[in-house]
Amino acid sequence: MRRISAHYILPVSSPPIRNGIITLDDSGEVLDVSAPSGSEPEESEGVEFYSGALTPGFVNAHCHLELSHLKGAAPQGAGLAGFIAGLAAHRAKFTDEQAHRAASLADAQLYAAGTVAVGDVSNHRLTFEVKAGSPVFYHTFVERYGLRREDVASGVRSARMLAAEAERLGLSASLTPHAPYSTLPEMYDALAQGSAFWSVHNQECADENLMFEKGGGSLHELFLSMGLTPMPPVGKSSIHCTLRHVAEGQRLLLVHNTCTTAADYDAAAAVRCKGISWVLCPTSNLYIERRLPPLRMLRAKGANIALGTDSLASGASPNLLEELKLLAERFPDVPLSETLRWATLGGATALGMEHSLGSLERGKRPGVTLLTNLDLDKLKLTPDTKSYLLTKKIPTFADK
């Protein structure tokens, strides 16, 4: 048994507790979260006291661990088409060993900084051993895209083989289309067979919507330069090309949403499915498009918001704390209690793990993360805030 305290406990599911105490059993299960009685916790026998705030372990709902070695490969502010072209130009410059080493380092960093679960995108098996050997829980989204009809069957077949290999290594895995601008409707339908859990890149730039509404734009031109036939205009924004393929039993993560409108949100809310989460990667959005998603609209709509770090190709850190700091800087009116929810319970809900992760509640095993160097008077992050995982949390496939 372990008893941990700090200046504040931020349970996420309930209000902050000043000088509270978290009691854990040897497996990391929360037995109790309570206010102190009598003496201050730092004076109580058997209580570990830390300076700062205790939170649930972070849940990173969108990551590309396999791109960790491509940090700085794509120019900043070049737009999505420029970003894609930049990555394509540099991929061949790295060996599998270099990529594997970079992924291992990123995995170690995010765990040490307080992340206990990740929704990670894989196009090949490069990071499977890293994830299988990690104390972090990974759900692997085996991603496929394709604009040639003759490649659909082979692409889906290879994705199913890759998912089966991931599962043999003990990883949770599902198939997912990449994005509407890169994925034929036939591939969407084929990937839906037996895969009830999608993570789809959505409306990451204005030209994505332009391609589907009217035709043309930078993505259209990029695909033409690659000898590919771009998706034709359909008179609607790109999100509709994903929503029409979503089945009633599916769980859907819509990622980025940089150019999503209230009408787009309403269209998604009308779809009958198991649940939709809106995953935001603000650092990546600024790096690629120099803009942020419509946070105020999503909050007003009551969206389940989750956070992701995307990849080191478009960000400086795999740590969700940096996303929280950016949000605190750009949206100072949004309280830490809300943004922290997105980094914990919002992500756990997105991954279907809200029953075991995401909040400090009795019966859960969410891990405990320490935030130091906060403004404790206002309960706000500062530029010097750091995060550290205090508990070893090893979720298993059974946790899902």
Q: Same domain for 259 and 392?
A: no
Q: What is the structure's pLDDT at 194?
A: 76
Residues 62-81: tens digit of each pLDDT: 999 999 999 988 889 999 99
Q: Same domain for 379 and 338?
A: no
Token pair, residue 90, equals 């540099």
- In a 13 Å sphere around the CA of 239, the CA atoms on its Cβ side amount to 27
Q: Same domain for 174 and 300?
A: yes
Q: Which residues, 6+ apart, have CB-to-CB distance to 93 below 8 Å? A: none
Predicted model pTM:
0.95
Among residues of the chain, what percentage have pLDDT more than 90? 88
The CATH number of the domain holding residue 27 is: 2.30.40.10
What gap in Å lies between CA 15 and CA 169, rounded to an integer?
Answer: 40
Q: Does 396 score more than 90 pLDDT?
A: no
Q: Same domain for 66 and 28?
A: no
- Tell me the residue range of the domain where 362 lies: 1-55+358-400
Q: What is the structure's pLDDT at 398?
A: 41
Token pair, residue 287, equals 């790096």
Burial label, 92 (beta-carbon count in 10 A; 0-12, 13-18, 19+):
exposed
The residue ranges of DSSP E strands in the chain, in sequence order, are 2-9, 17-18, 21-24, 30-34, 47-56, 58-63, 115-122, 137-144, 172-177, 197-202, 251-256, 275-280, 305-307, 368-372, 386-389
Q: What is the structure's pLDDT at 41?
A: 55
Average pLDDT, the chain: 94
User: What φ, ψ does residue 376 adopt, rounded to 5°?
Assistant: -75, -25
User: What φ, ψ does residue 373 adopt, rounded to 5°?
Assistant: 55, 45
Token pair, residue 69, equals 């070695």
Q: Which amino acid is at 156?
A: V
What gap in Å lies between CA 339 and CA 346, rounded to an integer?
Answer: 9
CA 78 distance to own-chain centroid: 23
Helix (H, G, I), strand (E, B) or coil at 36: coil
Q: What is the structure's pLDDT at 39?
A: 53
Q: Same domain for 165 and 181?
A: yes
Q: Same domain for 161 and 75?
A: yes
Q: What is the structure's pLDDT at 399?
A: 43
Q: What is the structure's pLDDT at 382?
A: 97
- Ordered DSSP codes for 244-310: TT--TT-EEEEEE-TT--HHHHHHHHTS-SSEEEEEE-HHHHHHHHS----HHHHHHHT--EEE--B
Q: Same domain for 12 and 126?
A: no
Q: Same domain for 86 and 12?
A: no
Q: Same domain for 49 and 149?
A: no
Q: In what order do the strands lie in the sheet with 251-256?
A: 197-202, 251-256, 275-280, 305-307
* Mean predicted confidence (pLDDT) in 195-215: 95
- In a 13 Å sphere around the CA of 194, the CA atoms on its Cβ side amount to 10
* Helices and strands (H and E) in the chain: how many: 14, 15
Residue with tokens 């649930």: 56
The total of structural domains in the chain comes to 2
Q: Same domain for 155 and 244?
A: yes
Token pair, residue 326, equals 């950016």
The CATH number of the domain holding residue 264 is: 3.20.20.140
Q: Does 307 score more than 70 pLDDT?
A: yes
Q: What is the structure's pLDDT at 36?
A: 79
Helix (H, G, I), strand (E, B) or coil at 373: coil
Q: Does 277 score more than 80 pLDDT?
A: yes
Q: Strand 17-18 vs strand 137-144: parallel, antiparallel, or unpaired?
A: unpaired
Q: Same domain for 269 and 199?
A: yes
What gap in Å lies between CA 144 and CA 159, rounded to an integer?
Answer: 7
Q: What is the structure's pLDDT at 397?
A: 42
Q: Same domain for 29 and 129?
A: no
Phi/psi class of residue 287: alpha, beta or left (left: φ > 0; alpha: ψ in -120 to 50)? alpha
Q: What is the structure's pLDDT at 38?
A: 61
